[in-house]
Amino acid sequence: MDIETMWLVTILGAPLAAALLLSLLGGRGARMAGWMAGLAAALSLAGTFALLPALQRGEDPTLGFRWIPAAGIRLTLHIDWLTFPFLITEAAVTLLAVVYTWGYHRTDERTSFFYALLLLFAVGMSGTTLADDMFLFYIFWELMLVASCALIAVWGEGEQRGAVALKYFIFTHLGSLMVLVGLIVLYDATGSDSFSALRAGVTLAPGLVMTVTTLFIVGFCVKMAIFPLHLWLPDAHTVAPMPVTIMLAAAMLSMGTYGVLRFPLSIFSPAQMTSFAVPMMVAGIVSEIYGALMALAEQDIKRIIAYSSVSQMGYILFGLGTLTFDGIAGATLHVIYHAIVKALLFMCVGLVVRATGRRRITELGGLGSAMPVVALCTAAGALAIAGSPPFCIFDSEWMIFAGGFHTAHIGLSILTLFGSLLTVAYALWFVGRIFFGARPQGLTVGRLPWAMVVPTILLAALALIEGLFPAPVFDWVAHELTLILGGVW
């Protein structure tokens, strides 16, 4: 086994082994659970970075074996340039969420199981990204759902957590079933479940291409929470424990984008995808504007940031729909930068709730002097989500907008710019209402755990650093474009 294969195994093996060990230890491992989970998440992230040199040498590390030979089914893990940006995002978000959990979660006899499920959630996302076979892809896709659903059902906030978890499961599983039908049709057409066979070319009747692409786009848009397929998201993000919300918003939503890139955009030609360009752009614009308007209307600070995700996923879908180099590159950059900024904003919300015990924005105000570090981090997140330079999202939005203006649909590109104005409105309103003005009577501010503050500061700094120095990440994304739409750019 060479070093690349060992790192490939480590990416999934470290969190999976830690999750199994924590489950076996149960209450006996509660005190060490956080450190074990943090070590496993750090090893997974290190393994991902360790494979970067191999990719830069033009290698695609792969590990696989036959599973059901008679059916042509293999179990294969594979990393390429399309995989890498998403894998880095998932691993980094998981590590930061685990560290944040050290301060957020109060240790009890179920703590080991909480961390074990967090790690299984991460394994589901990373496994989905690394899978090079349809069979394995779908197994990890469902693991991602089951683990996150269990976390919401058991550790969610409020009496409605069971109902919210059920709604989340049913709604997103319906999207998964649409994806499954598309996978089965492709398997039937190729006689193999290998992505390599799909990349080599799939011959389908035009009507079947339309059907399969529709199934994939709609199914993956459920995971992206594009309006009106977003109905699971506000409640799930609001009820879930904050570390789970961070992973849902900053990592799991990106899996829908990865699915669109990995399947319809990688398999079919530009000519076959052209008929989907305008619908994707329009759906993206509607989601942008709707999510922003709902963020302005909401009162619960957690739901405000949740609806912001609906809006931001709209930018990504619009960029994919342009079918241009700039648009698709910008959409992938936006996945990474959205993860940084959305994790930052949810961490800031968690700090405000932890310090004050309040979540309604009308019950907050004047916290800037009492929580200057949190106020600064939140302001950085708000400016970043609004696309203000020099923060990172300015770079990805510039690319997305440029991609739109490279199409024949200039009117749609102008509309998406209007959506960005609404983003500025809710971002500034959010910061102003919480940290400026008079402090409501009786509002007190408690001490904050360092484990919650440190990753928040780190993300605020990263949002600025990535905005100033985007070249390395853009280089990763540029390599991915040769794997999409036949690489004809």
334 in any annotated domain: yes
Q: What is the pLDDT of residue 204?
A: 78
The helix/strand/coil state of 11 is helix
Cβ burial, residue 340 (10 Å; 0-12/13-18/19+): buried
For residue 265, what pLDDT is reported?
Answer: 92
pLDDT of residue 488: 62
- Residue 14 placed within a domain: no
Angle at 165 between CA 97 and CA 182, to 5 degrees: 90
Report d(CA 348, CA 353) in Å as an integer. 9
Burial class (CB in 10 A: 0-12, 13-18, 19+), 298: buried
pLDDT values of the chain reduced to their tens digit, one per residue, 489 residues: 688 889 999 999 999 999 999 999 888 878 899 999 999 999 999 999 999 999 999 888 888 777 777 666 778 899 999 999 999 999 999 999 999 999 998 888 899 999 999 999 999 999 999 999 988 999 999 999 999 999 999 999 888 899 999 999 999 999 999 999 999 988 888 777 788 777 777 777 888 889 999 999 999 999 999 999 999 999 999 999 999 999 999 999 999 999 999 999 998 888 889 999 999 999 999 999 999 999 999 999 999 999 999 999 999 999 999 999 999 999 999 999 999 999 999 999 999 999 998 999 999 988 998 999 999 999 999 999 999 999 999 999 999 999 999 998 999 999 998 888 999 999 999 999 999 988 888 888 888 999 999 999 999 999 999 999 999 999 999 988 888 877 666
Residue 71, pLDDT score: 63
- Tell me which residue has tokens 């979540």: 359
- CB of 348 closer than 8 Å to CB of 422: no
Instruction: Give the count of alpha carbons within 13 A of 52, CB side only.
Output: 13
Res 208: pLDDT: 87
* Side-chain-side CA neighbours of residue 210 (13 Å): 5
Domain count of the fold of the chain:
1
Q: What is the DSSP string of 297-338?
A: H--BHHHHHHHHHHHHHHHHHHHHHT-SHHHHHHHHHHHHHH
- Parent domain of 316: 271-489
Residue 216: inside a domain? no
What lies within 8 Å, CB to CB, of 376 at 6+ separation is: 460
User: Where does 131-256 show beta strands of DSSP type E?
Assistant: none
Residue 458 CB neighbours (<10 A): 17
- Dist CA 229 CA 443 (whole Å): 37
Domain-located, residue 414:
yes
- Look up the pTM and report it: 0.94
Identity of residue 153: A
What pLDDT is recorded for position 72?
66
- Give residue-wise pLDDT tens across range 185-197: 888 887 777 887 7
The rounded distance, in Å, linking the Cα atoms of 37 and 432 is 36
415-428 burial, b at 16+ Cβ within 10 Å, e below that, comes to bbeebbebbbebbe
CB contact set of 324 (below 8 Å; sequence gap of 6+): 403, 406, 407
Q: What is the pLDDT of residues 416-461, one digit of tens each?
A: 988 889 999 999 999 999 999 888 888 888 889 999 999 999 999 9
| Domain-embedded: residue 412 | yes
Report yes or no on 344 lying in a domain: yes
Is 355 domain-assigned?
Answer: yes
CA–CA dist 345, 341 (Å, integer): 6
Using an 8 Å Cβ cutoff, are 254 and 86 in contact? yes
pLDDT at 287: 96
Give the pLDDT score at 70.
65
Domain membership of residue 442 (yes or no) is yes
Q: Is 107 helix (H, G, I), strand (E, B) or coil?
A: coil
